[in-house]
Structure 1
Amino acid sequence: MQHRSSRRLRAVVGAAAALALILTGCSGGESTFSYTPPEQVDAKLPKETVDQLQTAVQEAMTSAGASGAIVGVWVPWSGTWVEGIGTQGAGSDTKVTADMSFRVADVTRLMTCDVLYGMADAGEIELDAPVPKYVSGVADLKDVTLLDLCNGTAGIGSSEAAAKGYWLNTPGREWQPLQLASHGLGQARTEPHTTFRDSDAGYLLLGLALERASGMDAASLIEQYVTEPLGLENTSLPSSAPAEPKPSPALSGSYLPALQGGYNCTAPVDVTKMSSSAGFTDSGVTSTIEDLGRYVQAEAAQGLRGEKAEKKRFDAPLKVAADGASWFQATGGAYIVGSMVGQHGWTPGYATAAYSDPATGFTVAVTLNNSTSGSLIARDLAWELAAIASKVPAAEGQKAPEFALPFTAEQYKTEIAKSAVVCVAPPAK
């Protein structure tokens, strides 16, 4: 795979305005369809807007204890901003650049569901197939379907709390997916089909099911159904051998050791090199900001599916929380935030979020190189950036569409400050 050090999303989508990307179903060749990205103005966003965006990123980095971030904002009617900010670590002179790769965390869930829907559209698997048909040792999930695993409606718990210590302390450990999922499977269940429940175990099981149904490994499935059709040359699910994110150079990833009452902010632990098996088909994929932006833009518009696909993926979302905002919903491996579709999450060393509006192609993506605060700061930063950029005026000769978000930049600026890690001085020796 050849690495392109500076691939601008706007160059891709600008050229594609007149020429569609032809995406062909690879498994049998029966479904041929096309996706044309929206035309992107080939210009930078106004300096005033960029200054606001950069300030937001730097404030979020401080709150998260991150030394660096990579961010991309694509406003088709106005311009783009793609930037690496900060350095590779505290005291490091190596600046973060926009071409560095990183772990995309829970954005992987979207790709796993892409494979499920791609195989279903090709007639190779049934969305409503019971999980035990393809995964051994989970007979008690006979009433749970593969679609439930994708939608987060399987009723099973998450392995994160039980496995987090192992991930951080032994990043090179190679996990078996079912072994990792067992932590979530061991929790009390909720009724399937009815409510959304954030479950990494569900996506691990879905990956196993897809492997068994296809006879292919998960990395090859993601390549066939996602990265190859969209031309994402810098995106992949790496092998389980411990390694830095690919391609090189990689953004360094770290976390802060916990101390009573907070964290030791003076001694970040580097976990750049780790096994992708800790995330597998839940959070194991690595990418670059340009690829991530292009992917989530196509994903929101369902560019990987034929127009005649019977089962619509994002049409029936459920509220993320019963007492939460009505505009924050989930289905199909995605979160639906107002009109935007995307994902956010963390994996050791990184917190990543990416969202796009399917009607306009408006897209934001960001990663922070410290996972101490979990996914909330990255999520809130993506939403803050979206709120700022959504107000940008149209470039000369362009017309801004009617596009609004159900929140303000100030709202999530405040939330980020509330989520800031608390630094505690280590005890004197």
Structure 2
Amino acid sequence: MAHSTERLRRGAVAAAAAGMLVVPAAGGVAASASADTTVTSPTPPSPTDTATASPGQFQTLTPAVENELDAAVQQVMREAHVPGVTVGLWTPDKGQYVRTFGVADLSTKQPMATDLYMRIGSETKTFTVTALLQLVDQGKVGLDDPIGKYIGGVPNGDKITIRQLAEMRSGLFNYSEDPGFFKALTSNPQAPFTPQQLLAYSFKHPVMFAPGTQFFYSNTNLILLGLVVEKESGQPLGTYIKNNILTPAGMNQTLFPTGNEFPQPHAQGYTNQTATGKIEDTASWNPSWAWAAGAMISTLNDLRTWAPTVATGTFPNGTRMISAATQAQRLTTPPSTFPGAGYGLGIFDVQGWIGHNGSLPGYESLTIYLPSAKATLVVLLNTDITHAGSEPSTLFGEAITKIVTPNNVFALPAQHAGR
């Protein structure tokens, strides 16, 4: 959701971000995974029958519906000035839709492709919290333990619970909204940050509210949970996630970088969250500043695997990733700050779609699963610059779900973009 992203600050940065990517409109440039699905000038769409649609109903992906999706995605690209986007939509009985549009690199005009590695921002949170919940199942961590039991020096650490951190109800200030942090990152985007440095930016601010009384999206929460995973597992966070989540899931193209490494092939990313406010390419930026909250990298196919895995708590081979009882707690998603959307333990439910999105300078992603239709939607793009107050990943999610699941539309109010 818009709260669940890696934008550096709200306010001036978010406002400045709206509609400022000055690039050629990419809607007319399309490249697909194979020649038989290339999109250049889509046939005028045929309206889908939504009058009788019920919650969970999924439109069959006929050629007419595919044309409608092509047009909708390209319209968002034109309006939001998105250089390139990849969309994957899969169902067990209604067909699948996989497309790439636009360019991965504005300089070389390299087209987007389905095998590109992409930074996935806050989708990292789903992996970090999954690791935490595995430790809960092992009895090494208690969801209702105070964070002070594991990590010292946390404001209100004797009152804030592990559960409240995962649910974004801790009251801790979001370090990535600190002006000093923003200056430090944008003045030297390749510089590494330690978790302790990130926490220091947060802890110099007063606690915002009593724990459990409000929802407020804060990356600080995930830095603390990442440290808990490391302490109680005895492993670096990335190592634990690889061994206990990625490998069992068969996700061999997903990684937790330790620096600014970025496997090839990858898309270039474009942001205006910079020291000057001018657009820069961020592919070489070091995502250590987001660490457990947003540093990971993945691909379309791996995220296709992850969507149902995280939504059900079950690996593709049928074994449990986390216990059914713990998964049920995870999917208890009390309301956040706007209708139709709730946030549970490192995961959201927006109009029935379960998953997470991600946004950090230059990249956005959306990986969601609709259990009632067993449908997976993945969107990957190479800019985070907002349009009319909304993040482009949200605009794509809304445009696509309006067509295929008209009674389960992934929509978030524009005013909530930019966190």
| Change over 3 Å in CA distance of 1:63–1:156 after alignment to 2 | farther
Structure 1 residues without counterparts, runs of 5 or longer: 1-5, 7-43, 392-403, 422-429
Identity of aligned residues (%): 22
Distance 2:358 2:106 in 1: 23
Q: Which of residues 350, 373, 392 is equivalent to 1:360?
A: 373
Aligned residue in 2 for 1:385: 400
Aligned pair 1:78/2:97, yes or no?
no
Structure 2 residues without counterparts, runs of 5 or longer: 1-32, 34-59, 315-319
Q: Which of residues 290, 298, 302 is equivalent to 2:301?
A: 290
Q: Is the 8 A contact 1:158 1:199 kept in 2?
A: yes
| Change over 3 Å in CA distance of 1:97–1:169 after alignment to 2 | farther
Aligned residue in 2 for 1:182: 200
Written as runs of structure 1 = structure 2, the 5 A alignment for 1:208-287 is 208-239=227-258, 241-244=259-262, 246=263, 248-256=264-272, 268-287=279-298
Aligned residue in 1 for 2:69: 53
C-alpha deviation, 1:355, in angstroms: 1.1
| Change over 3 Å in CA distance of 1:65–1:187 after alignment to 2 | farther
Distance 1:275 1:352 in 2: 18
State the Cα deviation string for residues 130-150 of structure 1 (Å, max 9, x = none).
Answer: 212222322631111222211
| Change over 3 Å in CA distance of 1:335–1:351 after alignment to 2 | same
C-alpha deviation, 1:292, in angstroms: 1.0
| Letter in structure 2 aligned against 1:369 | N
C-alpha deviation, 1:280, in angstroms: 0.6
State the Cα deviation string for residues 238-287 of structure 1 (Å, max 9, x = none).
Answer: 11x2222x3x2011112137799xx75xxx31110122312111001100
Distance 1:390 1:361 in 2: 12
| Letter in structure 2 aligned against 1:269 | E
Written as runs of structure 1 = structure 2, the 5 A alignment for 1:398-409 is 404-405=407-408, 407=409
C-alpha deviation, 1:62, in angstroms: 3.4
Q: Which of residues 103, 120, 140 is equivalent to 1:124?
A: 140
| Letter in structure 2 aligned against 1:389 | V
State the Cα deviation string for residues 302-352 of structure 1 (Å, max 9, x = none).
Answer: 22445553562344322211xx21x21111111111221111231111011
Size of the aligned set, in residue pairs, is 352
Distance 1:375 1:171 in 2: 25
Q: Is the 8 A contact 2:86 2:114 kept in 1?
A: yes
Q: Is the 8 A contact 2:369 2:377 kept in 1?
A: yes
| Letter in structure 1 aligned against 2:351 | G
| Letter in structure 2 aligned against 1:142 | D
| Letter in structure 2 aligned against 1:224 | N
SS at match of 2:378: strand
Distance 1:138 1:371 in 2: 31
State the Cα deviation string for residues 126-183 of structure 1 (Å, max 9, x = none).
Answer: 2222212222322631111222211112111212222344434422110011211333
Distance 1:259 1:171 in 2: 10
Aligned residue in 1 for 2:163: 147
Could you state the TM-score of these two structures normalised by the residue count of structure 2? 0.76
Written as runs of structure 1 = structure 2, the 5 A alignment for 1:19-98 is 45-98=61-114
Distance 1:258 1:272 in 2: 13
Q: Is the 8 A contact 1:64 1:370 kept in 2?
A: no
| Letter in structure 2 aligned against 1:75 | T
C-alpha deviation, 1:192, in angstroms: 0.8
Distance 1:218 1:78 in 2: 38
SS at match of 2:302: helix
Could you state the TM-score of these two structures normalised by the residue count of structure 1? 0.74
Aligned residue in 1 for 2:185: 167
C-alpha deviation, 1:382, in angstroms: 1.4
RMSD of aligned residue pairs (Cα, Å): 3.0
C-alpha deviation, 1:113, in angstroms: 0.8
Q: Is the 8 A contact 2:186 2:275 kept in 1?
A: no
C-alpha deviation, 1:206, in angstroms: 0.7
Distance 1:311 1:288 in 2: 25
